[in-house]
Chain A
Amino acid sequence: MASPDGAAIEVRGLWKIFGPRADRVLGGPDAGLDPVALRERTGCVAAVRDVGFTVRPGEVFVVMGLSGSGKSTLVRCLTRLVEPTAGEISIAGEDVRAASPARLRDLRRNRVSMVFQHFGLLPHRRVLDNVAYGLEIQGVPRARRHERAREMLTLVGLEGFAETLPDRLSGGMQQRVGLARALATGPEVLLFDEPFSALDPLIRRDMQTEVVRLHREVGTTMLFITHDLSEALKLGERIAVMRAGEIVQTGTAEELVGSPADEYVADFVRDVPRGDVLSLRWICRDSADGERPGETALPAETVIRDAVPAVLHSDLPVRVVQDGRPIGVVDRRDVLSALAGLPGAAS
């Protein structure tokens, strides 16, 4: 399953420029221009600009950005649904950009599946046949593919809807069908293109939980595109923030909130409750002169909110320990100001 270098997806120097003579723009001096100037000078739009990242096997990697930041184009470049202008892509050791049409088809059929924002279901086929579509394309006999499709429907909690036409299902159920269809081929990598953006908030939360559960059960590598920060924080082990085609910062939720790379990211994560994301590592301090830490010790990875009971019950500052070594202390005031989001608490 893992490629020789241990990455499920590896992308380097990826560019996608829409417009006339895109490859020329790339080689020339205009490539560095900002989007408005680029469009004025060349008529081209650089949707993806020099993007690189690595996704480890079994990881959930989230690409987050506002609409128009190029994230949907990026995910389509990975299986060349949109042909990239330049760069290297390797999925499970396969050089995607060098793949022949037949190898590319093979990759799409067996190793990578995609879930779409607008579901992309076929209205003239039953749910069962929609789920089995990927297998049908591969020439899997009807009985086998139907059996597999039924298993997938059970997996996503849609048993009993096999004979229904997709239009009769609610949005959330339709996306479950899309999910089942993507899972049916047993892919190593699942690509999600804003799969829950078209759903209403309650159902979206259900579906997010569903994805977390599936990831635990199936363990597939997932690349997840979203514009929703809370979705990114909930699902992503690591998050890449995109803006105007470029990746501004890649890191865990904690890294993004704790040390945003620039104003843009900082602006983005401003409303995130720090206490829910940051760990004690970010707020612990050296003990002041004459201050005597108490007996209680907490690991540095503890999320601030989870540290509240321990800190409340200790009159003295609590010691913070990383790998068995003390790295500082926190007291009630530190925790409170971090929870309240006061300035200076976590910088």
Chain B
Amino acid sequence: MSSGTVGAAEPAGAQAGPPAGPPTEPSAGPSAGPSAGPPAGRTGSAAPPAARRGAVRVPRWAPALAAAGLAVAAYAAYAAFQGTATLPHDDDAAPFRIVADLRAWADAERNRSPFFLFLVNYVRLGVGSVHDLLHLVLHGLGWAGLAGCAGALGWLAGGARTGLLAMAGFGAFGVLGVWQASVDTLALVLAAVLLSLAVGLPLGVWAGLSPRLRRLLTPLLDVMQIMPTFAYLAPMVLLFQIGPAAATVATMVYAIPPAIRITALAVEQVSPAAVEASESLGATRAQTLRGVRLPLARGTIGLAAGQTIMMALSMVVIAALIAAPGLGSDVIRGLSRADVGLMLPAGLAIVAMAVVLDRVVTAAARPPYEEALGPGAAARRSRVRRAAAGALAATGILLGRVLPAEFPGAWALDFAGPVNDAVDWAKTSWYGLTQAVGGAVAEGLLNPLQTVLTEAPWWLVAAVALAIGWRTGGPRPAAVATGCLLATALLGLWQHTMETLTTVLVAVALTLLAGLVLGVAAARSPRFAAVQRPLLDAAQTLPAFVYLLPALALFGATRFTAIFASVVYAVPAVARLVEEGVRNVAPGAVEAALSCGSTERQLLWKVRLPMARPALLLAANQGIVMTLAMVVVGGLVGAGGLGYDVVSGFSQRSDFGMGFAAGVATVLLGITLDRITQGAGRRPLTRTST
């Protein structure tokens, strides 16, 4: 209610003005004096002139003119200095050697230094044993036991439909012929998720209650989330060596931020009225937490758990780079050999696992009071569910004892052959089209842009970044962005950074274009939205690398594959944000515009899009971050640049230093782009408040 009083203080004061204003009333009282603004006022004379000075307007065309001038200057500088002060790539740069030496040192210290002996090695041991235990139990249940237990959990959480879905999903692992790998992956994911939740949920609740802790955590979580997954694999290897333990920790780093963030948000945003009522009745903090905040936040905390699972699953493939067992390694092998038939079953199994885990967790988290059931019916239903789940689990475990643990090979379908045939057919018969599209993008966009970026002197690129950052976000973000960009040069990766920047820029442009068109279309036509929404839903729940599959099948291992995959990956989020932004424009404004006789087109261009500006900028920012993450993944399929450096850093020990540095450079590039675009999103707010 404090904001209510703050906001309303102005009208109250404004009312004070008119009656007290005329100078004919000398005894108007000191309180009304300054707002009337006659020159006599002692305290008032300081403020109004300053306010007036701030209100001096720059002509509308001035910024545009300045921008055009800068662009011309930049082009002239490019023409004059092209080819000078470029920083060509060197595989043996000093930073790479330093990192390689660091790894040698860490390997030597592993059993000597107390830091490793008493901290790192214990973490490795603890995390590793959680994983090993789950691995043992899951394999020990046998395929029938595991499927039965999954079905039972699903039934318990969401009734028959969820239970059957869970069983079908687990059955699919076997039918796809990847049962062993799926269970390995499941063990890894469960270990990472359980540990993430064990740490993340309490921390999130605490952060929701304590603004101080939240302020402390926010920058840390920002870094964890903006950091492309590749970037922290190398440090993991440095500390924990390769294997399941390192993979679990890496997955945790990736999966924990949403657990903490969403939980904190849920606890913090519980209806203030309910919290206040509880406090007014004399509840202690603990009582309010237990009786009000946690029950009301339950659904959202379930969402946090679901999100954590999704994040953990999308790390599965990347974690395979540091020798995590399971489906991920099939995918990596398939990607590196452009063998779609090898990838597809593993990819489908990951999708099935994602769907099952997501449904079960969401169903379990749904607050029972939101379902329209009387208390008696609810109790009856939960009895039925418990009975069904118990029977299912018991049957499964018994069957698991009797049947062999191995999924019967006769039930598995053979995918690799037919899939590869189909891919070959698609490749040859659509060769002309795919070649033309890929070629056009490469020749028309990628190559020219890459030439400009790599051949321009480094200082010119930095200066342009500074100018754009300054224009969109002001001096501070511009300085941060430029600093990060220049730091990649210090890492010895300037040229590869420019190559990656090229693919990112092209992918972002295509993503924004597609996202804007789809989002606006969906906002304007409910029918289109109804068709598009489930597609977007499905697309957003898929793990990221899945988008590489069709791209790889159609376009082979090229830069365009990486771009295509990242566009497909990022478009759903962007389209959705655009749609929501355009649709949620204040209905009053839309109504007012309609009542003035605006056409649909005028409504869109004059009201909806301008008013949705913050949402559009958010969409752009989101699109850039997602695209960057994906373009780096594209290093696996021949996108070159930083992504390729990272991948080869893991596969060849001699390249470890370069891979490590490339991971850092990716982060720096991400921060650069994020600062520039986030500044653009924040700008209108700062402008109105000053």
Contact = CB atoms under 8 A, between A and B. Distances in A.
Contacts of B652: none
B260 to A, nearest CB: 24
A110 B282 CA distance: 8
Given A37-B34, A105-B284, A106-B282, A47 B12 contact: no
Contacts of A158: none
Interface string B1-45: 110111111111110100100000000001110110000000110
Interface size grouping (class) on chain B: 35 or more
A133 interface: yes
A36 B10 contact: yes
A37 B35 contact: yes
Contacts, number: 148
A236 interface: no
Contacts of B284: 105, 137
Interface string A81-93: 1100000000000
Interface residues of A, number: 59
Given A37-B44, A73-B2, A68 B8 contact: yes
Given A45-B9, A113-B280, A33 B274 contact: no
B380 to A, nearest CB: 15
Interface stretch (A116-124, A212-220, A251-259): A116-124
Contact of A108 (B11, B282, B296): B282
Given A18-B5, A34-B31, A72-B5, A134 B12 contact: no
A68 B273 contact: no
Interface string B112-124: 0000000000000
A105 B8 CA distance: 31
A81 B279 contact: yes
B47 interface: yes
Nearest to A114: B280
Interface string B257-277: 000000000000001011111
A103 to B, nearest CB: 10
Contacts of A67: 4, 8
A317 interface: no
Nearest to B375: A163
A37 B48 CA distance: 11
B12 A243 contact: yes
Interface in A159-201: 163, 165, 167, 178, 181, 185, 191
A282 to B, nearest CB: 26
B278 interface: yes
A40 interface: yes
A124 to B, nearest CB: 5
B13 A36 contact: yes
B2 A68 contact: no
Interface in A48-100: 66-70, 72-73, 76, 79, 81-82
B12 A108 contact: no
A107 B282 CA distance: 7
Contacts of A121: 274, 277
Contacts of A110: 282
A109 B283 CA distance: 8
Contacts of A117: 273
A263 B19 contact: yes
B273 A116 contact: yes
Interface string B646-680: 00000000000000000000000000000000000
A124 B273 CA distance: 14
Nearest to B367: A124
B11 A68 contact: yes
Contact of A138 (B31, B43, B282, B296): B282
B281 A134 contact: yes
B13 A124 contact: no
B292 interface: yes
A79 B280 contact: yes
B111 interface: no
A134 B280 CA distance: 9
A72 B2 CA distance: 9
A148 B657 CA distance: 72
Given A72-B1, A116-B273, A133 B291 contact: yes
B43 A37 contact: yes
B61 interface: no
B276 A34 contact: no
Contact of B276 (A39, A120, A263): A120
The residue in B8, B19, B279, B281 that gathers the most chain A C-beta atoms within 10 A of its C-beta is B281
Interface of B: 1-2, 4-14, 16, 19, 30-32, 34-35, 43-44, 47, 271, 273-284, 287, 291-292, 295-296, 298, 367, 369, 374-375
Given A18-B5, A34-B34, A134-B282, 8 more contacts: A68-B9, A122-B295, A122-B296, A123-B296, A124-B295, A126-B375, A167-B369, A244-B16
Interface of A: 18, 32-37, 39-41, 45, 47, 66-70, 72-73, 76, 79, 81-82, 104-110, 112-114, 116-126, 133-134, 136-138, 163, 165, 167, 178, 181, 185, 191, 243-244, 263
